[in-house]
Amino acid sequence: RKEVEQDPGPFNVPEGATVAFNCTYSNSASQSFFWYRQDCRKEPKLLMSVYSSGNEDGRFTAQLNRASQYISLLIRDSKLSDSATYLCVVLTGGGNKLTFGTGTQLKVEL
């Protein structure tokens, strides 16, 4: 089983749609969780950290379920500029290793 698993997509959605991505992780001792965004042929950039209480940043909402070991990202009112690959990232202690999922590709269309 992979340490971090994501549906690779692609998710093709119309502009204005709401889209949700899920990610599961295998190490129950994982400490911190993030969503990164990677545009085509560019480096990944932090989108948001994920907290146990859930957190929101504008149109983006991230949630963490430790019991079920999954993380979610909800994008509301999607824009063309949201088209990218979204990477689920988990920090595992005892080495502070950031483990990346393979990413979920989102394509927002007119």
Partner 1 sequence: EAGVTQSPTHLIKTRGQQATLRCSPISGHTSVYWYQQALGLGLQFLLWYDEGEERNRGNFPPRFSGRQFPNYSSELNVNALELEDSALYLCASSPVEGPRNTEAFFGQGTRLTVV
Residue of 11, 19, 30, 103 interacting with partner 1 (CB under 8 A): 103
Helices (H), 1-110: none
Task: To the nearest 10°, report the CA torsion of 48, 88, 50, 41.
Answer: -10
Window contacting partner 1 (CB under 8 A); options: 19-27, 55-63, 73-81, 89-97: 89-97
53 binds partner 1 (CB under 8 A): no
Q: In angstroms, what is the minimal distance from the CB of 100 to partner 1?
A: 4
Residue of 31, 57, 59, 79 interacting with partner 1 (CB under 8 A): 31
Size of the site for partner 1 (CB under 8 A): 20
20 binds partner 1 (CB under 8 A): no
User: Are 33 and 91 in contact, with CB atoms under 8 Å apart?
Assistant: yes
Count, residues in the chain:
110
**HSE (side-chain half, CA atoms, 13 Å) at 71:** 33
102 binds partner 1 (CB under 8 A): yes
